[in-house]
Chains A and B, each alone.
Chain A
Amino acid sequence: DAKTTQPPSMDCAEGRAANLPCNHSTISGNEYVYWYRQIHSQGPQYIIHGLKNNETNEMASLIITEDRKSSTLILPHATLRDTAVYYCIVREYGNKLVFGAGTILRVKS
């Protein structure tokens, strides 16, 4: 079973920041937080991952709380092409990915 809880859906205005929350209260010390997204009819796409520290790459930022029980994925300037299902996953390095239902993000013009 997935070890994360995400809201089923969110809306965001185009050009604004999209903040997607994730709860993982049972995360263990050696588990990373990963984010993937899946655009309709395509395979999941890796976005970002982190262990304890906040991370940023060209796609997004990941903010992990100090107790590591929750995190937020931030898309700084959402576009219509960011409309997708976003999955938050916790996993040990090298282990399988366990997907939950994810959050459907709808970016609207």
Chain B
Amino acid sequence: DAGVTQSPTHLIKTRGQQVTLRCSPKSGHDTVSWYQQALGQGPQFIFQYYEEEERQRGNFPDRFSGHQFPNYSSELNVNALLLGDSALYLCASSFESLGTFGSGTRLTVV
């Protein structure tokens, strides 16, 4: 049984560019949450998607947006990248609360 799959695993982008990260949830899970983890810190909640709608949002600017598809997979988009957006981006899927995390996408902005 495949767990949460994220792609790509690593990515390097230039300041000002846009990036799209992808997440396939664990089978049977209908809710997807995204987290940003800077080096040496705990993950910070970005937003959560359920039934293709954003259900909760953390303290992140509008440059961060997302989407959930009918098959429950999800994308995280970040526009106008800043150096400070360099981090590990984690996707977690869940069904009735208990979540499973993917291994993340390491984004480096140069």
Interface residues of A (CB under 8 A from B): 2, 41-46, 49, 85, 87, 93-102
Known A94-B96, A96-B45, A101-B41: A43·B101 in contact at CB below 8 Å: yes
| Contact call A99/B56, Cβ cutoff below 8 A | no
Interface residues of B (CB under 8 A from A): 4, 33, 35, 41-45, 48, 56, 58, 90, 92, 96-104
A-B contact number at CB 8 A: 46
User: Does more than half of chain B's interface fall in helix, strand or loop, or is it mixed?
Assistant: strand
| Contact call A99/B58, Cβ cutoff below 8 A | no
A73 to chain B, nearest CB (A): 16
Residue of B42, B58, B101, B104 touching A96 (CB-CB under 8 A): B58
CA A101 to CA B44, docked complex, whole Å: 11
Residue of B42, B90, B99 touching A2 (CB-CB under 8 A): B42
Residue of B41, B58, B100, B102 touching A46 (CB-CB under 8 A): B100
Chain B contacts for A102, CB-based, 8 A = 42
Chain B contacts for A43, CB-based, 8 A = 4, 90, 92, 101-104
